[in-house]
Structure 1
Amino acid sequence: MGVLVFIFFIQIAYVTLSTIRLIVMMKGNAKLASLVSFVEIFIYMLGLATVLDNIDAWYNLVTYCLGFALGVYTGSIIEEKLAMGYVTVQVITRKEDSDMPQQLRNAGFGVTSWVGEGLSGERLVLMVLTKRRRQKALVEKVKEIDSQAFVVSSEPKTFIGGFWLRRVQ
């Protein structure tokens, strides 16, 4: 029973670290990703060696697979909680005379806005750059102001200049 528990939890730890390493690497922090990868592969080798030493029991392999699956789930939850990096949120509203840009600025968001043209007329377009952990608050504020607004978000890898450059540095 002790081997099963060890295999299960070592696999959860390995896959969770693997997920975190990948995210850290994608965010451009190669040094931290390298450090995490050292621990990750050490844990992986411990788990694999244990399974191979006990390969005669099919339930050890099943436990290894279950630990992997739960590790994926755990890693995704941790990634969501970390909410590393920034998002660019584009908001399109039908209210051309809307004070949404000012309301969002008052809530601490940096907003650039312009008038665009949609299928049935002019639209107010807003671009907002914010930390990922504030994305939910931003979307809730937009919905509060205009429940019909169209919202799209993406993750920028690089940005130079502007309002955010001073705040990020």
Structure 2
Amino acid sequence: MIVIILLINIVYVSFFTIRMILTLKGHRYLAALISTIEVVIYVIGLGLVLDNLNEIQNLVAYAVGYGIGVIVGMKIEEKLALGYITVNVITKDYDLELPKRLREKGYGVTTWEAHGLEGDRMSLQILTPRKYELPLYTQIKEIDPGAFIISYEPKAIYGGFWVKNVKRGKLQKNE
């Protein structure tokens, strides 16, 4: 019984996490489908615990399963890597090699001159699918180990050549 309750809650919370991410990313129909499955799992698991409230190990299994489910859900979300990120990079040297090499890899890069406390800099803005986030950081650090990198998720993306290139799979060919 303890193992069943533990596994049910791991699955339930993993579904909960994925459903929440899908909801935030605007995948409403898939989120609704997952929530239907999620609530069935939740009711079964909670029912098992409530039917046996006198056995503390069931409640402990439920709580531990919830905690493990959060971790499993986060790992699944990392693997799915839905959506895009915008990466802003500021280099110490105004070097055109970094944007050139990133463009050769298929990334869309916009650059401009920036002025920092210690002088002129080059600022880059790069939009990429989240699944390429870590390889992008690695490539930037290989070219410019001193680069300042900050990233965030854009709410909406419209137009530009980059969207067309991603749809054609240019980044995937350069993996």
Unaligned runs of 5+ in 2: 168-175
Letter in 2 for 1:37: S
Aligned match of 1:34: 32
Q: In the TM superposition, what is the alpha-carbon distance from 1:53 to its structure 2 partner?
A: 0.5
Distance of 1:124 and 1:153 partners within structure 2: 16
**TM superposition shift of 1:168:** 5.1
How many residues align? The count is: 167
Match for residue 18 of structure 2 among 17, 20, 23: 20
Partner of 2:9: 11
CA–CA distance in structure 2, aligned partners of residues 148 and 167 of structure 1: 29
Match of 1:133 in 2: 131
Q: Which runs of 5+ in 1 are unaligned?
A: none
Q: Paired residue for 2:122?
A: 124
Q: In the alignment, what sits opposite 1:144? A: 142
The AA in structure 2 aligned to 1:133 is: K
Residue 171 of structure 2 is matched in structure 1 by: none
Instruction: Name segments (4+ residues, structure 1) moved above 3 Å.
Output: none
Whether 1:62 and 2:60 are equivalent positions in the alignment is yes
Q: Which residue does 1:164 correspond to in 2? A: 162
State the Cα RMSD in Å. Answer: 1.0
Distance 1:120 1:51 in 2: 62
* Overall identity of the aligned pairs, in %: 47
- Name the residue aligned to 2:101: 103
What SS does structure 1 have at the residue aligned with 2:95? coil
Match of 2:172 in 1: none
Secondary structure of 1:117's counterpart equals: strand
Does the 8 Å contact 2:107/2:162 carry over to 1?
no
